Amino acid sequence: MKVMVIQGPNLNMLGIREQQIYGPMKLEDIHRQMKAFADANGMEIEFFQSNYEGEIIDKIQECLGDADGIILNAGAYTHTSIAIRDAIAAVQLPTIEVHLSNIYRREKFRQKSMIAPVCAGVITGFGPFSYHLALVSMHQIFQEMQAIKAQQQAQNPQS
């Protein structure tokens, strides 16, 4: 099963920007840890980062037929992008929204997620560990999907 990890605006600046909020870990280090977990658990993983809303939408759409699930940190677009929300809804893949900081302890405008209603779940506030929790959650979703598929095949062996 394949997971696409999509990182939104300014996440390429992790380890540099506002370390008191986002911590000192760089995005590459987070991805390295995620890849190690994915490899150990038989999951394929791919990473993408863009500061442009349209590129994020394109990548979500490209996941259709190429990935089994999405882990998405849409950054500031979380709070503003109906277009990203619509792309997630359109592909109908399990998507987990991730945030390093606890968005509910931040400014009021950051406390509303436009994409949460179309996501399988939201993980927020655990720093880089948020990504690990998202990957563990996606692994569980994949196991449940495989169990349902096996059950359906057992009930309909000719299909």
Q: Mark whether 22 is an active-site residue.
A: yes
DSSP 3-state percent helix, strand, coil across the chain (nearest 5): 50, 15, 30
**Cβ atoms of 59 and 89 closer than 8 Å:** no
Residue 100 tokens read as 């390093």
Residue 127 tokens read as 């720093």
Q: Write down the catalytic residue from 22, 77, 131, 139.
A: 22
Residue 49, classed as helix, strand or coil, is strand
Q: Mark whether 31 is an active-site residue.
A: no
Q: Write down the catalytic residue from 77, 79, 99, 131.
A: 99
Residue 18 tokens read as 């506002």
Which residues are known to be catalytic?
Answer: 22, 99
